[in-house]
Amino acid sequence: MADTFRLTLAQLNPTVGAIAANIAQARAVWQQAKAAGSDMVALTEMFVTGYQTQDLILKPAFVRDAMAAVATLASDCADGPAMGIGGPCLQAGKLYNAYYILQGGKVTATVLKHHLPNDGVFDEKRLFTPADVHGPYVVNGVRIGTPICEDSWHPDVAETLAETGAEILLVPNGSPYHRGKPDLRLNLMVSRVVETGLPLVYLNMTGGQDDQVFDGCSMVLNAGGGLAVQLPQFDDCIEHVTFHRTAQGWQADHGTRAPVPPVAEADYRAMTIGLHDYLAKSGFSKVVLGLSGGIDSALVATIAADAFGPENVHCVMLPSRFTSQASLDDAEAVARALGCRLDTIPITGPQAAVGDALAPLFAGTEPGITEENIQSRLRGLLLMALSNKFGAMLLTTGNKSEVAVGYCTIYGDMNGGFNPIKDLWKTRVFDTCRWRNANHRPWMKAPAGEVIPPRVIDKPPSAELRENQRDDDSLPPYPVLDAILEGLVEKELSVAEIVAQGHDRATVKRVEQLLFTSEWKRFQSAPGVRLTQKAFWLDRRYPMVNRWRDMG
């Protein structure tokens, strides 16, 4: 009986639907594991198909392709270490979320997921069948138990595996980022280790998929809960971990101990990766956006430049007669600091042409919100034209506060294919800009230093759609607005509970009304990076037609 067991961990970024490319990644890391003398290489949950697949997994041809790829991979990787890899499994007409163990040219074990998550962004009960708990499987004489992702969030699966002889727990995951997630995972996994007395390997994927970003943070815990390995947050990496048999059971040698970055950095990295992977996996490599001289578009331009390089970011200023010289100067300063191209397309001519066309029908009416929105929609039209002509994805730049209350124009400034700051409250936008000015990391492709001039951050926000317009003419000050919205959206508090925190009831009721009546806009909005557990899309699903209001 061997007294060492070497496990290669693959913290990698699969792509949904790219079965051949995902299998090629698995084969390449298996070669590395073989060269390192490993007994086994582990990949993450649903790695063969990418994750999350949503209803794509209900297409029988897709499942057949994925299962055939697993069989081929087993055959190709016969002479070397065992492999664990996640993928779908169809058995007796039922579809399961499975983890395959490949060794000696065949599938030697198929572990099926027991607990199916059905909250937040997860809908697995709609897609998969829950399975009975699978016992340990054996790789080179070592009994390994595998709770698949959600299975490890509950004590029963790990306890059953320990009772049936497991010596090491290997947990493959598809766990997306939100603020506080690393600490939450660590606390849960320590609980499983303490309950079972077994070492635990937590292996998570990386990369962006639609609105979600998988942030890695894989770890190895020894019995007692001591941290032996902590892989970096967000980075792809391969780690060879050696376990030794002791009188107290298997124990892992210490390896990489990467620090988990603070929330400000993690949010920024998530937005950068989410934007990059959404575009790259969709076939885009460059972006275009309207650069207004305001803080939101400056931050989006910076994120895009960090993701793709300044040479792939095309900024466009679209001034009207209400655009101040300060805004023109600030847009130029941002583009210059980042090293991005900036073009200016005045909308005064198109605005006059639209005004002339509508004049017979608008006769006798007073100018107002309609005319303001025409400006925004003309900008959206021109930016979409540039996107279509040059193959650059248009980015939209509305923050979570604006998206929440509908302070944005449908078919205007909401035009675009992706919004990296969609889940970032306005107050966090200010903080994020200051953080980026003060920090630079090797993964950032834009220059270091003060890329967003302080006056862009400090000036009063304005849409500049009429003379002397300011956001706080129409909305409560952003610190007040965000505090109310966090209560309504992220905490699902009642009006009375928010008023009890010290807020004016009439203001809270007005914000609640704006939130509910803007649902139809959010339904048509571009996807954006999820940073919280109440991001607008899968986390929070409200009806567009809704007559109920909280009367408290």
- Give, as one character, the DSSP assignment of residue 316: E
The reply, when asked if residue 552 is annotated as ligand binding, is no
Whether 149 is a known active-site residue: answer yes
Whether 237 is a known active-site residue: answer no
Report the C-alpha gap between 545 and 517 in whole angstroms: 8
* Centroid of chain to Cα 325: 37
Predicted confidence at residue 254, as pLDDT, reads 97
Q: For residue 477, give the nearest of 427, 514, 431 by alpha carbon.
A: 427
Report the pLDDT averaged over residues 191-208. 97
CB-count exposure of residue 541 (10 Å: 0-12, 13-18, 19+): exposed
Q: Considering the chain, tell me which residue range(s) the CATH 3.60.110.10 domain(s) occupy.
A: 4-253
The reply, when asked if residue 293 is annotated as ligand binding, is yes
Q: Considering the chain, tell me which residue range(s) the CATH 3.40.50.620 domain(s) occupy.
A: 264-471
Please say whether the dihedral angle defined by the alpha carbons of residues 412, 413, 419 and 424, taken in this order, is positive or negative: negative
Contact 276, 305 (CB under 8 A): no
Report the pLDDT averaged over residues 523-532. 96
pLDDT band (50, 70, 90) for residue 1:
low
Predicted confidence at residue 552, as pLDDT, reads 77
Homologous superfamily (CATH) for 4-253: Carbon-nitrogen hydrolase (3.60.110.10)
pTM of the model: 0.95
pLDDT band (50, 70, 90) for residue 465:
confident
Q: How far apart are the first and last CA of the chain?
A: 68
Catalytic residue among 113, 281, 400, 509: 113
**What percentage of the chain carries pLDDT values higher than 70?**
100
Predicted confidence at residue 481, as pLDDT, reads 97
Q: Provide the 10 A C-beta neighbour count for residue 547.
A: 6
Query: Residue 274 to residues 37, 44, 51, 390: CA-CA distances in angstroms?
Result: 35, 19, 14, 22
Whether 433 is a known active-site residue: answer no
- Six-digit token string for 27: 């084969």
Q: Is 264-471 assigned to CATH 3.40.50.620? A: yes
The reply, when asked if residue 397 is annotated as ligand binding, is yes
Catalytic residue among 77, 89, 149, 340: 149
Contact 231, 219 (CB under 8 A): yes
Helix (H, G, I), strand (E, B) or coil at 550: coil
Report the pLDDT averaged over residues 368-374. 93
The reply, when asked if residue 291 is annotated as ligand binding, is yes
For residue range 8-45, list pLDDT tens digits in order.
999 999 999 999 999 999 999 999 999 999 999 999 99
pLDDT band (50, 70, 90) for residue 51:
very high
Give yes or no for residue 462 having a pLDDT over 90: no
- Mean pLDDT, the chain, rounded, equals 96
Report the pLDDT averaged over residues 400-429. 96
The reply, when asked if residue 65 is annotated as ligand binding, is no
